[in-house]
Structure formats: structure tokens, C-alpha cells
Chain A
């Protein structure tokens, strides 16, 4: 199946600093990628839809100036958490889908990034 690579797996940063998370589709092109956030024992919450070559679409309640998304190529999307605070500590996961004919609506997920803000 398709592979989505996410980096880093975990990051610890000081409050007020920015953190960049990368999401790559390794063996397919992804015009659309999705960024989710997951708190312990809670559901994945969609933060934004990353569109190649255009602006990301953010879900209600997600601050676009705080969570910067860049999708500069068909295989790479980045999420930058700007001026991170302890409440931003969470598990961030990216996903992408292919346009293959079988079950094209399914998503392939990265391994996630655990962000801890001190």
C-alpha cells in the first residue's frame, strides 16, 4: 500500500518557539493531505486540509496563523506550530489518499508526531 512518512516522531520544545512537522507521500502524489490532532484517549480531530499549490482549508476553531500549513509539492506538506504553548502539546498526525480505483476514499496515515511544549 501507499506510504506516508512523518517526521519527527517526537519533539520537545520550549514555550514560545516554533516547531515544523513534515509529511511526505513516498510512493504516490498527494494533491491533498490532511492534518489531525489527537489528545490522549480522544478522537482524531481534523485541523485542516492541505492543498498543493494553494491555501490550506482550516476547520472551525483552528487558528490558521498559529498552525501554518505549506503544501509546496505533490509529495510534501508541512505543519508549523508557531509560538507553541503547553496547551499545544498533542499528537499530530498527517494523512493522504491516493486516487486509485479501489476504495479511493481511504487514507494512509503518517506515524504521528508527539509534541511536548515545556
Chain B
């Protein structure tokens, strides 16, 4: 089965800096990888999807990279704001359409 590793320790950064979160997987290479944001007591919200043939994808202040050789995805938030504070989840396909396996997430704290 697929195993996903995300840094379980919280990432603390100062407002305006770039936050970089890491997602590593250990088994088969997925056809795509997704990133979600989850606030306490809420369901996850979709942010970005990157496919295996894509190296990088951007959306406003967000950027995702996908290195299938390293089996790693990096998630960047530029010009971070306190409102970006949340837990960010990495998710991979489980071999079925829309069927995902999630990492434990990394909590991001942006200080003013």
C-alpha cells in the first residue's frame, strides 16, 4: 500500500516569508498528487492537483512541484499571511478514480 510522509511537526514562519511543505511517498508513483487545506473541525478544501507528467503548477501564491524520481512533492506558499495558518494535506490516488490516500498533514503557523 502507498505510504505518505509529511512533516508531523508544525512549521512556524513569519508573515511575508515563503512556506515550503514536503510530501514524500514510498511506493508506486501516482498518476497525480493533490494538496488540500484543512482548518480545525472542518473538512479539507482542495487547493491544487499536479499530474505525473507535470513538473510544476501554480495558482496565485501557491506553487506545487512533483518529482517522480525523488518521489516527492513540494508545496510553497509565497508572501504568507496569518490567514494561511492551517493544516495542509497531501493526497495520492489509490488506484481508483477519485479514491485518495492522505498524509497526516503538516500544520503551518504564520505569525504576524
A residues neighboring B (CB under 8 Å): 1, 4, 6, 32, 34, 36, 41-44, 46, 49, 91, 93, 95, 97, 103-112, 114
Residue of A nearest to B49 (CB): A103
Total residues of chain B contacting the partner, CB 8 A:
24
Please state if A97 and B98 are interface contacts (CB–CB under 8 Å). Answer: yes
Residue of B nearest to A97 (CB): B98
Contact sample, A vs B, 19 pairs, CB 8 Å cutoff: A6-B43, A32-B98, A34-B98, A34-B100, A41-B104, A42-B104, A43-B89, A46-B99, A46-B100, A49-B96, A93-B44, A105-B93, A106-B34, A107-B46, A107-B100, A109-B43, A110-B43, A111-B43, A112-B42
Please state if B46 and A43 are interface contacts (CB–CB under 8 Å). Answer: no
Residue in A34, A93, A107 with the greatest tally of chain B CB atoms within 10 Å:
A107
Contacts A34-B98, A43-B105, A44-B89 given; does A106 touch B46 at CB 8 Å: yes
Please state if B99 and A108 are interface contacts (CB–CB under 8 Å). Answer: no
Interface of B is mostly: strand
Q: Please name all residues of chain B whose beta carbon is closer than 8 Å to the beta carbon of A1 when the two chains form the complex.
A: 46
Q: Report the bound CA distance from A42 to B103 in whole Å.
A: 8
Please state if A105 and B34 are interface contacts (CB–CB under 8 Å). Answer: yes
Q: Please name all residues of chain B whose beta carbon is closer than 8 Å to the beta carbon of A112 when the two chains form the complex.
A: 41-43
